[in-house]
Structure 1
Amino acid sequence: MSVLFPAVAARSDRPALRCGADSLTYGELARAAGALAARLDGVERVAVWATPTARTAVAVVAALLAGVPAVPLNPRTGERELAHILGDSAPGAVLAGAEDTLPEGLAKLPRIDVEPDATGPAPGAGTGGGTREKDIDPESPALIVYTSGTTGPPKGVLLSRRAVAASLDALAEAWAWTSDDVLVHALPLFHVHGLVLGILGPLRRGGEVRHLGAFSVEGVARELGAGGGTVLFGVPTMYHRLADALSHDEGLVRALAGARLLVSGSAALPVRDHERIAAATGRTVVERYGMSETLMNTSVRPGGEPRPGTVGTPLPGVDLRLVDEDGSVLGAYDGETVGEVQVRGPNLFSGYLNRPEATAEAFDGDWFRTGDMAVREADGTVRLVGRRATDLIKSGGYKIGAGEIENALLDHPGVREAAVTGEPDPDLGERIVAWVVPADASAPPAGTELADHVAGLLAPHKRPRAVRYLDALPRNDMGKVLKKALPAAGRT
């Protein structure tokens, strides 16, 4: 691996990035990032105020050109969490737009304003007193991405240049992703999905990325339609809204039908939304599976048979296995035997910043313990069934994944959203509890009806023993349900 972005180094006139009023060619991006990189000489690492703008892309590319690890900051992060991240990562400066208002917690850091129209030295010619990109150690950290902190303070995930390049190149092979592709998305830029895949991915390929700034059905239809977009990245909440709009928006139907690739990630896309999009457009949504520590692990291959509910097979270079609670490797490909997903390969992170004990605990030899539970189908396809900590339910002697029950519930026309958890039961050990947002709040489906629906689709022992109704499920910025934030009781 010599350089991460050959098209930036070549300073071509091809379109690279468009976000709102800002539109940059590769040559313009090279000049802006080169100018900023020259100002980072001597800085050990930098924080990036990661707004959904071209400035964030310029800032991260500049840091990568300079060999300076970047710490993307969620602009919505609370005061306490921000203080933890800054104290843990100790950035030497913060990169932000001149018009950005930064919180008090960042006031002590030197601020460097990002200027998308700046001009600077050619990438690879040395930055300031400094480094040629091709001379930077591939194992050196490119990004420090902080986890969501669901089990304690967020941990800084050290992602090397090697890991970023390996994961993006594996996706390019699996998706036939080339410089001809124009990627459309509206994902946050402080996260692996939006930043690494959604910005660095197309820039590494030499293609174009169009960020909507904020998600809208109209924006997707415009950029995929007359705008000439070929690929769409989104999360299930976005695809659900698109599916809702298809029945009355012919322009959106044509736009999605004309796309080469529709990709969903960060959480499982309900089977019903898969089916609605495929029926209206003839396009199937491809799901992939990854996390901050591993980048991308698996993907459904475009052009194959639709496999709603699955995340495909391992990407090139990625090894994957399922492991039982006693540490034994599970060899069953029966679609029923549940085990924890463990992976290894060049896509893995280098460790947690300042957390050697946590790093050691995360590995079984050279295999990373993901904490995700899955089954494998006969052809090797992986189907996720939940998280070990919150989604593996042991009921009546069975190991049950919450995810498959959630998909079954979402197949019921009276259910708009669903989450499944386990709670102690004196007879079963744990009983299955369904948290349901009904499609019609004034006439929710009866709990017995939903239980029978699940039992008919899956098996009797997988039916919910309690159904609790909510107005909405708690979710994070990426659309993932926060099960620990579910109330102690809902409307039963």
Structure 2
Amino acid sequence: MPLLSWLSESTDERPEAVRVDDRSASWVELRRMAAAVADDLRGVGRVAVPATPTLETVVGVVGGLLAGAAVVPVPPDAGPVERDHILRDSGAEALLTPAGGEPFDSAPPAVPVDLARRSDTRHPESDPAATALILYTSGTTGAPKGAVLSRRAVAACLDGLADAWSWTPDDRLVHGLPLFHVHGLVLGVLGPLRLGSRLHHVGRPRPERYAAAGGSLYFGVPTIWSRVAADRDAARALRGARLLVSGSAALPEPVFAALADLAGHRVVERYGMTETLITVSARADGPRRPGTVGQPLPGVRTRVVDEHGDPLPAGTMGELQVRGGTLFDGYLHRPDADAASRTRDGWFRTGDVATVGPDGWHRIVGRAATDLIKSGGYRIGTGEVEDALLAHPGVREAAVVGTPHPDLGQQVTAYVVGDDLREADLIDFVARQLSVHKRPRQVRLVDALPRNAMGKVQKNLLVQE
């Protein structure tokens, strides 16, 4: 079956099948526009696409895939050093640009994406093992690494989510996510083009835009859902939706509860990485438990191991490892990093700390490097402390990290955004909710937390500070 099977086969000419901000196209129009791009990319093995939230980006990505090229999304806010690294490291042979747009300096030859052009060329479907995407990871050390994702892996991920979320052509997907990550691009664009749901990308993901979109299926990251929950009218406007999905970071339990109350939805949470795509999720036809991300998708296996790689019993905190058809093919030009990411028996080391209950439900504690604190012989997950802080009425945001301590090894340190707060009061507040050894030993009151484009708190910056 073609990767973009719905788009490839649809004869539907009704407008607004795909809408990005204020421009839209029918399925047939989108296919013909993308085919015109694919015509220009004959013989190109890898093509870079500036991943702005525009219809040109959608047409360019689809055109690259129709041509059988590996598509390399370039973050629009990437600085010249990062951008040049992506273009050089990926070996991109062409750069898709909006018609009349300015190409990057030192970039490969520009190929314009002109939405006025149409083509009826039917390009042959590529081998499922061929590369679909090269997505660059936002690593905390060194230059970003290119994760090579096959067409087969993308298809396996989307088909698994269709099963878990009852995702069908009757849905209208609404989101405002960046188009250079798994969440916004693979799930948020390629998902509709494979499964047939209409797509409305709202541009900037403001609560009022989500509220006005009239979708049945909504994607967001915790930052978006926190803002929606704070806008009571916007949250109530989502009562007519079928499913709200959150990912890319843990959804705070107070936000989960607020959306359940105002929007009438218990949010589905899921888990994945650039290298694995989505591997674990709650289901549309099953329970949704705050702070958990559900069970493995069809064809995916998971295990939790200790620092020696030995499997741990249910409910014990350790590193999560996964295997299955959604995994990437490796890091481009980085056999060393690829070898380090996999065990001898073929499991991928996620670097995330998790627990898996006897019923198979997964709880993601966080990154092993920043979200597991070893203090005085105790292993403390930062998410539990963050949830306790967020229960305080004056706390708007919280991030917890481990910082060096001469006696304990590490101490619990919290960074908090809020109003009229005192350090001692917050420490006592947490100590009354959790075990005393989990209380912060230091609370730093800040105006804002550093976040990346997906809304994830950049804890490595807090640790460095």
Matched to 1:147, the amino acid is T
| Shift in Å, 1:343 | 0.3
Q: Secondary structure at the match of 1:330?
A: coil
Find the aligned partners of 2:311 and 2:442 in 1 and give their Cα distance.
Answer: 34
Matched to 1:380, the amino acid is G
Find the aligned partners of 1:33 and 1:346 in 2 and give their Cα distance.
Answer: 28
Map Cα deviations across residues 139-188 of structure 1 (whole Å, 9 max, x no partner): 11100000002121100000000000000000000000001100001001
Find the aligned partners of 2:255 and 2:349 in 1 and give their Cα distance.
Answer: 30
Find the aligned partners of 2:330 and 2:11 in 1 and give their Cα distance.
Answer: 34
Find the aligned partners of 1:18 and 1:69 in 2 and give their Cα distance.
Answer: 24
Find the aligned partners of 1:470 and 1:304 in 2 and give their Cα distance.
Answer: 39
CA RMSD of aligned residues (A): 1.5
Residue 303 of structure 2 corresponds to residue 321 of structure 1: yes
- Of the three residues 211, 228, 243, the one matched with 2:229 is 243
4+ aligned runs moved over 6 Å, structure 1: none
Task: Map 1:177-188; keep pairs closer than 5 Å.
Answer: 177-188=167-178
Contact persistence 1:82–1:105 (CA under 8 A): no
Aligned equivalent of 1:209: 199
Matched to 1:381, the amino acid is W
Q: Secondary structure at the match of 1:55?
A: helix
Contact persistence 1:11–1:28 (CA under 8 A): no
Residue 412 of structure 2 corresponds to residue 432 of structure 1: yes
Query: Given the superposition, is the C-alpha separation of residues 290 and 388 from structure 1 closer, same or farther in structure 2, using an over 3 Å criterion?
Result: same
Find the aligned partners of 2:303 and 2:4 in 1 and give their Cα distance.
Answer: 30
Aligned equivalent of 1:26: 27
Find the aligned partners of 2:463 and 2:324 in 1 and give their Cα distance.
Answer: 39
Map Cα deviations across residues 218-251 of structure 1 (whole Å, 9 max, x no partner): 2111102xxxx101111111111111111xx2xx
Task: Map 1:233-312; keep pairs closer than 5 Å.
Answer: 233-246=219-232, 249=233, 252-312=234-294
Contact persistence 1:11–1:30 (CA under 8 A): no
| Shift in Å, 1:120 | 0.7
Return 210-219 or 317-326, whichever deviates more. Answer: 210-219
| Shift in Å, 1:99 | 4.5
Residue 462 of structure 2 corresponds to residue 486 of structure 1: yes
Q: Secondary structure at the match of 2:208?
A: helix
Residue 91 of structure 2 corresponds to residue 111 of structure 1: no
- Of the three residues 310, 321, 324, the one matched with 1:345 is 324
Aligned equivalent of 2:7: 7
TM-score (norm 2): 0.96
Query: Given the superposition, is the C-alpha separation of residues 375 and 84 from structure 1 closer, same or farther in structure 2, using an over 3 Å criterion?
Result: same
Aligned equivalent of 1:419: 399
| Shift in Å, 1:83 | 1.4
TM-score (norm 1): 0.91
Q: Secondary structure at the match of 1:407?
A: helix
Query: Given the superposition, is the C-alpha separation of residues 243 and 99 from structure 1 closer, same or farther in structure 2, using an over 3 Å criterion?
Result: farther
| Shift in Å, 1:356 | 0.9
Aligned equivalent of 1:455: 431
Aligned equivalent of 2:37: 36
| Shift in Å, 1:253 | 4.1
- Of the three residues 427, 445, 453, the one matched with 1:469 is 445
Query: Given the superposition, is the C-alpha separation of residues 145 and 3 from structure 1 closer, same or farther in structure 2, using an over 3 Å criterion?
Result: closer
Matched to 1:8, the amino acid is S
Percent identity (aligned) = 55
Contact persistence 2:149–2:329 (CA under 8 A): yes
| Shift in Å, 1:488 | 6.0
Query: Given the superposition, is the C-alpha separation of residues 88 and 253 from structure 1 closer, same or farther in structure 2, using an over 3 Å criterion?
Result: closer
Find the aligned partners of 1:488 and 1:345 in 2 and give their Cα distance.
Answer: 35
Map Cα deviations across residues 396-433 of structure 1 (whole Å, 9 max, x no partner): 11111112211221121111111111112122121110
Aligned equivalent of 1:161: 151
Q: Secondary structure at the match of 1:464?
A: coil
Map Cα deviations across residues 33-53 of structure 1 (whole Å, 9 max, x no partner): 111111111112100011101
| Shift in Å, 1:85 | 1.0
Matched to 1:6, the amino acid is W
Q: Secondary structure at the match of 1:390?
A: helix
Map Cα deviations across residues 249-284 of structure 1 (whole Å, 9 max, x no partner): 2xx344211100101111111111111111112211
Aligned equivalent of 1:129: none
Q: How many residues align?
A: 463
Find the aligned partners of 2:158 and 2:31 in 1 and give their Cα distance.
Answer: 20
Find the aligned partners of 1:8 and 1:213 in 2 and give their Cα distance.
Answer: 25
* Structure 1 residues not aligned, in runs of 5+: 127-131
Find the aligned partners of 1:240 and 1:324 in 2 and give their Cα distance.
Answer: 34
Find the aligned partners of 1:2 and 1:187 in 2 and give their Cα distance.
Answer: 25
- Of the three residues 346, 356, 366, the one matched with 1:366 is 346
Q: Secondary structure at the match of 1:329?
A: coil
Find the aligned partners of 1:113 and 1:191 in 2 and give their Cα distance.
Answer: 23
Find the aligned partners of 1:111 and 1:470 in 2 and give their Cα distance.
Answer: 44
| Shift in Å, 1:323 | 0.8
Find the aligned partners of 1:116 and 1:457 in 2 and give their Cα distance.
Answer: 57
- Of the three residues 346, 360, 373, the one matched with 1:393 is 373
